[in-house]
Amino acid sequence: MHLPTAASLLLSALPLAVATPTPGHGHKEKGLNTYAKEAGLKYFGAATDSPGFRERAGYEAQYPKYDQIMWKSDEFGQTTPTNGQKWLFTEPQQGVFNYTEGNIVTSLAKKHGKYLRCHALVWHSQLAPWVEAKTDWTKDELRAVIVNHVTRVAKAWKGQCYAWDVVNEALEEDGSYRKSVFYNVLGEEYIKLAFATAAKVDPKAKLYYNDYNLEWPHAKTEGTQRIVKMLQKAKIRIDGVGLQAHLIAEQAPTLDQHIDAIKGFTKLGVEVALTELDIRLQVPANATNLAQQKEAYKNAVGACVQVKGCIGVTIWDFYDPFSWVPYVFPGEGAPLLWFEDWSKHPAYYGVQEALKNGTKKGKPGKWW
Ligand code: 9MR
């Protein structure tokens, strides 16, 4: 869907020769990754799935247009496979490893020169069923399972990942540990084991803890700081915290909340990235919630630009039909930057403004 803005209606009524290009409508518009690099970030990226697993089936006719934006433009300098590297695909049966699904996206990243974030080594969800089917793991057995999985999978992409999400979503909202099979058998030791193993196998990849609802300070951000400190104290390498940033347009964090949350991690000496940004709204979208979404995107990306140590932003796909959101939150959707008809969300220009108006090197932009 495309909602004409007041500015675009006004412009279309003017003779072309006098129409001054507005941000986002000028001929010299660059892609988001270009603006991100100019602002001092490493990348602005988009996660993507292998075609067989994209959320909306029957959209094959859209693939050429999709690929053009995903791979052949300067919109995105980085990607993350949304599914293919997960345990379910990489070790479907104990000791049987398969990298086919993950390789689809990782090889495209290589071919097109995009940074790659690798996702995710140890996670309670999209886990191969055999891990949870066995209810009487001994500590030693499960330690061996984790070490073997992390070793084999990290080795498979060794040297290719800018970063690995080593442990994903280990916390509850109150900052306590999630009672996953890993935690139930090993306690917090499983986190140490996963990071120590990944550090050994891929010394160049940045090792991240990744979770959602870390974009404003509260119990869960404190729990995450506790994990960072625990690893540091044990002299186990952790390089970054990934803030997934699955947000809601109508109730998104403010710029200051984002900044405080990010600084809460960077002050510990680790870097931060927004790793799965999307901002859902009640559908059908309307001018009000699209404006809220624009503001929310601008604040999230703007905070990353403003805080030293926040190195990049990844949106969790870029084309609305391929988002996971409507399948999990009925009545909500349109969380990305391109609508189904390929017109851009107002939020696209919110991101653009955040990137163009701010720089890590200079003073904060005038809108801060
Ligand atoms: O985008 C992924 C979707 O295709 C899967 O069906 C879903 C299953 O949980 O996982 C989605 O990605 C998740 C990511 O791996 C971790 N953080 C939350 C993401 C959205 O669920």
Q: Which atom of ligand 1 is nearest to the CA of 328?
A: 21
277: its two tokens: 């940004």
Nearest CA to ligand 1 atom 7: 324
Q: What's the distance, Cα to Cα, between the start and end of the chain in Å? A: 30
190/171 Cα distance (integer angstroms):
13
CATH classification at residue 176: 3.20.20.80
Q: What domain range is 289 assigned to?
A: 30-356
Cβ of 52 below 6 Å from ligand 1: no
* Structure confidence at residue 362 (pLDDT): 52
Q: Is 88 helix (H, G, I), strand (E, B) or coil?
A: helix
Q: How many domains does the chain have?
A: 1
Atom of ligand 1 nearest to the CA of 55: 4
Tokens 């290719």 sit on residue: 160
CA of 166 to the centre of ligand 1 (A): 15
Ligand 1 centroid – CA 177 distance (Å): 20
Judge whether 366 lies within some domain.
no
- With vertex at residue 277, the alpha carbon angle to CA 204 and CA 172, rounded to the nearest 5 degrees, is 85
104 domain residue, yes or no: yes
- 321: enclosing H helix or E strand: none
- Beta-strand relationship, 271-282 and 310-315: parallel
Q: Per the domain annotation, does 13 fall within a domain?
A: no
Report the atom number in ligand 1 closest to the C-alpha of 244.
17
CA of 86 to the centre of ligand 1 (A): 10
275 lines ligand 1 (CB under 6 A): no
Among residues 124, 128, 210, 197, which one has the least CA distance to residue 163? Answer: 210
| 22 assigned to some structural domain | no
Catalytic site positions: 169, 276
Residue 21 lies in a domain: no
Q: How far is the CA of 324 from the centre of ligand 1 (A)?
A: 7
Q: What is the pTM of this model?
A: 0.92
Determine the residue type at 359. Answer: T
Low-confidence stretches of the chain (pLDDT < 70) are 1-27, 361-368
pLDDT digit string, tens, across residues 280-317: 999 999 999 999 999 999 999 999 999 999 999 999 99
For atom 20 of ligand 1, which residue has the closest CA? 324
Question: What's the token pair of residue 189?
Answer: 């030791």
78 lines ligand 1 (CB under 6 A): no
Q: Sign of torsion, CA 12 13 16 21?
A: negative
Is residue 99 in some structural domain? yes
Residue 319 falls inside a structural domain? yes
How far apart, in Å, are the Cα atoms of 267 and each of 225, 237, 260, 360? 10, 16, 10, 16
Strands 332-333 and 271-282: antiparallel
Residue nearest to ligand 1 atom 2, measured at CA = 82
CB-based contacts of 270: which residues, under 8 Å, 6+ apart? 228, 238, 239, 240, 241, 309
Domain membership flag for residue 193: yes
Q: Is the CB of 165 under 6 A from ligand 1?
A: no
Tell whether ligand 1 has an atom less than 6 A from the beta carbon of residue 107: no
